[in-house]
C-alpha cells in the first residue's frame, strides 16, 4: 500500500528546492470521495495531494495543456514540471516524448505503482454499497477499503475496479525519476483484451447491430477527444470548427476547406469519426480508458482502441509507450508484416 | 435474381498509385481488355500516401467498394511507401471488419505498370464480389 505522505513529501521537496516549477497531481475534489487533478506551485500546497482508487484521470493530458499554454505565451521555462503518474499515465508520457511533444528533461515523473489495484468505477461501487455513500476509497492489497457513514466496508478490489485496470499489463510506471510502490507488472487479474475477444466472437451482423446501437447515441460532444492526451492537434481533421480562421481568411477559403465528415451527430458521421479516431490512436493509445470513462452516453470506446492495440502487438510486435527512442507504429515496417490480404 | 438486383452496378472508388497501377489501368485500356466500368480511378502519388480517412470518406460519400492498388513490394518509387501502406491498410481493414462492414467491400492489390490484364481481373473479381452485397448503406452519409 502506498503512503500518501511519501508523495506529498516528494512534491514538497521538489518545489521547495526549486527543482520543478509545478507539480501536477490529484487532490480531493468537491464531489464526495472523488479526486480531481490539480497543479500546485507552492510547497505548502503539497499536503493537498491525495492518492487513492479515485485518481482516475490520466494526468499526461495536463502536460499537453501546459505545453500548449507555454507555446501560446511564447515562454520557454528553464525548470521541468513534475507529474504524478500511474502506469498508464507514464506510458502516455513516453508516447508524447516519442513524438517529440516535449523532451525527457522537461518532465519530472513521480511514478506511483498501482500494485495489485487500480482505479474504481463509480457504478460498480454504488451497486455493491446498496446506496450507502462512500466517503473514501483506498485499495489495500486485493481489497478496497471504503469508508461510509455507517463505517468501514472491505470489498474485493476486482469487483469494483475499472475494466481497463483489470486488464492492465503494466501497472508500474517504468519511466520515472522517482517511484513509489512495488513493481507488480506480472500480475494477472483478467487476461488482456478479454472484453475484445468476447466481442469479436459475435457474427458480423451482430457486430454491426451492436455498433449501430452505440453510435446512434453519440452526441459528438468530443469529450473523448478532449480528455485524450494523444489528441493534441489544434486543428482536428474531423471537426470543421477547429479549422483556424484569421481575419484575412476569405469566405471562399472557409467554404472550400475539405470536410471529410460533417459535425452532425448522425450515425454515419459518428461511426466515421470514431473509426478515424481509432486509426489516429493506433500505436499511440496506451489504454488509459479515459475516453470510455468520460463518455456521457457510455459508448465502449475502449473496444476500438483495444482492437488496434492488439493488432499492433500481435502482428507488428509493437507495444505503445514502451520506448522513447523507438519508431512509431505507422512510420515503420518489417519485411514480414502481414500482406496475405493483398491480391 | 430480381430485375432490380440485376440492374445494380456497384460504385467503386479506386485509388491507384501513379507509378504503377495507374499506368496498369492505362495499359488495360490501350490493350482493349474488356472489364467492368464500375471503378472510378483516382490517381495518388503512392499507395503509402493514402490516409485511412480517404477510405472511410469514400464509403461515407457513397462508394459501394474501395480499391487501393500500389506497386509490388520492393518496387516502390519512394523505396518504402508500399511497406508503410501495407501496415496502415491492414489496420483499417481490421477496423472495418470489426465494426461490421463486409470485408469484401475493401480490397487492396499490387498491380505493376505492366500488369494491365491483372488490373482488369482485379476489377472484374471485385465487381463480382460486390454485386451480391448490394448497395453500401452502413457508412454512407445520412443527410436527410
- Best of B63, B65, B79, B90 to disrupt the A interface (most A CBs within 10 Å) is B90
Residue of B nearest to A281 (CA): B91
Asked if B98's CB is within 8 angstroms of A207's CB, the reply is yes
Asked if A276's CB is within 8 angstroms of B56's CB, the reply is yes
| Nearest-neighbour CA in chain B from A257: distance (Å) | 15
Asked if A315's CB is within 8 angstroms of B141's CB, the reply is no
The mean predicted confidence, pLDDT, of chain A is 92
Cα separation of A105 and A91, whole Å? 16
Q: Which of B93, B122, B138 faces A341 most closely, judged by CB atoms? A: B93
Cα atoms in the 13 Å half-sphere on the side-chain side of A25: 30
Residue of A nearest to B136 (CA): A268
Q: Are A326 and A318 in contact (CB under 8 A)?
A: no
A12 has pLDDT over 90 = yes
What is the tens place of the pLDDT at every residue in A83-126?
Answer: 999 999 999 999 999 999 999 999 999 999 988 788 999 889 98
Q: Provide the pLDDT for residue A240.
A: 84
pTM: 0.92
Cα separation of A12 and A7, whole Å? 9
Tracing cell 519511466 back to the chain, one arrives at A175
A1 has pLDDT over 90 = no
Mean pLDDT calculated for residue range A133-158: 88
Asked if A268's CB is within 8 angstroms of B139's CB, the reply is yes
Is ipTM strictly over 0.95?
A: no
Q: Tell me the CA distances in angstroms from B98 to A156, A205, B94, one per residue in order.
A: 33, 11, 6
Nearest to A139 by CA among A113, A164, A163: A113
SS3 B81: helix
Bridge partner list, A134: A148
Structural domains in chain A, CATH included, are 1-121+165-190 (3.40.50), 191-330 (no CATH)
Q: Provide the pLDDT for residue A185.
A: 80
Q: Which of B53, B125, B139 faces A260 most closely, judged by CB atoms? A: B53
List the 22-51 stretch of B: residues with Cβ below 8 A of A. Answer: none
For chain A, the three-class secondary structure string (H helix, E strand, C coil) is CCCHHHHHHHHHHHHHCCCCCCEEEEEECCCCCCEEEEEECCHHHHHHECCCCCCCCCCHHHHHHHHHHHHHHCCCCCCCEEEEECHHHHHHHHHHHHCCCCCHHHEEEEEECCCCCCCECHHHHHHHHCCCCEEEEEEECCEEEEEECCEEEEEEHHHHECHHHHCCCCCCCCCCCEEECCCCCCCCCCCCCHHHHHHHCCCHHHHHHHHHHHHHHCCCCCHHHHHCCCCCCCCCCCCHHHCCCCCCCCHHHHHHCCCCCCCCCCHHHHHHHHHHHHHHCCCCCCCCCHHHHHCCCCCCHHHHHHHHHHHHHHHHCCCCCCCCCCCCHHHCCCCCCCCCCEC
What is the tens place of the pLDDT at every residue in A240-284?
Answer: 888 888 899 999 988 888 888 888 899 999 999 999 999 999 999
Which residues from A are below 8 Å from B59, CB to CB? 272
| Nearest-neighbour CA in chain A from B107: distance (Å) | 7
A141 has pLDDT over 90 = no
Give the relative orientation of helices B81-99 and A301-316 as an angle to the nearest 10 degrees: 140
Tracing cell 445494380 back to the chain, one arrives at B8
| Nearest-neighbour CA in chain B from A120: distance (Å) | 28
Instruction: State the CATH architecture for B12-132.
Output: 3-Layer(aba) Sandwich (3.40)
Residue of A nearest to B143 (CA): A266
CB contacts < 8 A (A, B): 115
Q: Provide the pLDDT for residue A113.
A: 93
Asked if A269's CB is within 8 angstroms of B86's CB, the reply is no
Asked if A330's CB is within 8 angstroms of B84's CB, the reply is yes
Domain boundaries, chain B: 12-132
Asked if A268's CB is within 8 angstroms of B56's CB, the reply is no
Amino acid at each position: 500500500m502506498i503512503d500518501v505522505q511519501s508523495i506529498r513529501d516528494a512534491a514538497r521537496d521538489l518545489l521547495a528546492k526549486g527543482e520543478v516549477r509545478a507539480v501536477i497531481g490529484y487532490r480531493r475534489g468537491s464531489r464526495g470521495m472523488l479526486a480531481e487533478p490539480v497543479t500546485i506551485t507552492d510547497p505548502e500546497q503539497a499536503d493537498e495531494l491525495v492518492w487513492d482508487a479515485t485518481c482516475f484521470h490520466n494526468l499526461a493530458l495536463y502536460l499537453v495543456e501546459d505545453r500548449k499554454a507555454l507555446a501560446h505565451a511564447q515562454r520557454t521555462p528553464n525548470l521541468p514540471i513534475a507529474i504524478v503518474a500511474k502506469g498508464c499515465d507514464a506510458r502516455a508520457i513516453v508516447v508524447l516524448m516519442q513524438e517529440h511533444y516535449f523532451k525527457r528533461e522537461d518532465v519530472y515523473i513521480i511514478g506511483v505503482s498501482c500494485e495489485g489495484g487500480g482505479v474504481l468505477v463509480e457504478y460498480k461501487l454504488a451497486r455493491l454499497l446498496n446506496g450507502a455513500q462512500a466517503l473514501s476509497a483506498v485499495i489495500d492489497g486485493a481489497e478496497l477499503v471504503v469508508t461510509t457513514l455507517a463505517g468501514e466496508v472491505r470489498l474485493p478490489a476486482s469487483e469494483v475496479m475499472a475494466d481497463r485496470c483489470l486488464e492492465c499489463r503494466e501497472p508500474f510506471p517504468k519511466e520515472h525519476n522517482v517511484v513509489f510502490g512495488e513493481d507488480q507488472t506480472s500480475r494477472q487479474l483478467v487476461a488482456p483484451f478479454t472484453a475484445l475477444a468476447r466481442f469479436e466472437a459475435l457474427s458480423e451482423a451482430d457486430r454491426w447491430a451492436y455498433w449501430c446501437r452505440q453510435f446512434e447515441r453519440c452526441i459528438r460532444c468530443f469529450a473523448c477527444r478532449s480528455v485524450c492526451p494523444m489528441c493534441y492537434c489544434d486543428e482536428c481533421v474531423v471537426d470543421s470548427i477547429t479549422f483556424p480562421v484569421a481575419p484575412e481568411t476569405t469566405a471562399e477559403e472557409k467554404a472550400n476547406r475539405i470536410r471529410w465528415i460533417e459535425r452532425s451527430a448522425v450515425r454515419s458521421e459518428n461511426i466515421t469519426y470514431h473509426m478515424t479516431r481509432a486509426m489516429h490512436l493506433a500505436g499511440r493509445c496506451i489504454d488509459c480508458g479515459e475516453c470510455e470513462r468520460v463518455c456521457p452516453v457510455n459508448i465502449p470506446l475502449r473496444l476500438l482502441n483495444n482492437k488496434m492495440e492488439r493488432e499492433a502487438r500481435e502482428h507488428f510486435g509493437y507495444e505503445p509507450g514502451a520506448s522513447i527512442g523507438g519508431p512509431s507504429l505507422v512510420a515503420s515496417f518489417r519485411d514480414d508484416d502481414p500482406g496475405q490480404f493483398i491480391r | 435474381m430480381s430485375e432490380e438486383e440485376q440492374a445494380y452496378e456497384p460504385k467503386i472508388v479506386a485509388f491507384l498509385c501513379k507509378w504503377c497501377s495507374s499506368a496498369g489501368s492505362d495499359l488495360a485500356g490501350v490493350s482493349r481488355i474488356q472489364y467492368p466500368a464500375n471503378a472510378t480511378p483516382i490517381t495518388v502519388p503512392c499507395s503509402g500516401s493514402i490516409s485511412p480517412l480517404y477510405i472511410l470518406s469514400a464509403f461515407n460519400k457513397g462508394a459501394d467498394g474501395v480499391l487501393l492498388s500500389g506497386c509490388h513490394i520492393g518496387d516502390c518509387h519512394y523505396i518504402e511507401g508500399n511497406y508503410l501502406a501495407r501496415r496502415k491498410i491492414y489496420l483499417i481493414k481490421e477496423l472495418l471488419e470489426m465494426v461490421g462492414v463486409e470485408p469484401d467491400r475493401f480490397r487492396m492489390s499490387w498491380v505493376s505498370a505492366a500488369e494491365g490484364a491483372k488490373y482488369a481481373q482485379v476489377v472484374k473479381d471485385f465487381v463480382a464480389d460486390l454485386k451480391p452485397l448490394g448497395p453500401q448503406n452502413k457508412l454512407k452519409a445520412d443527410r436527410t
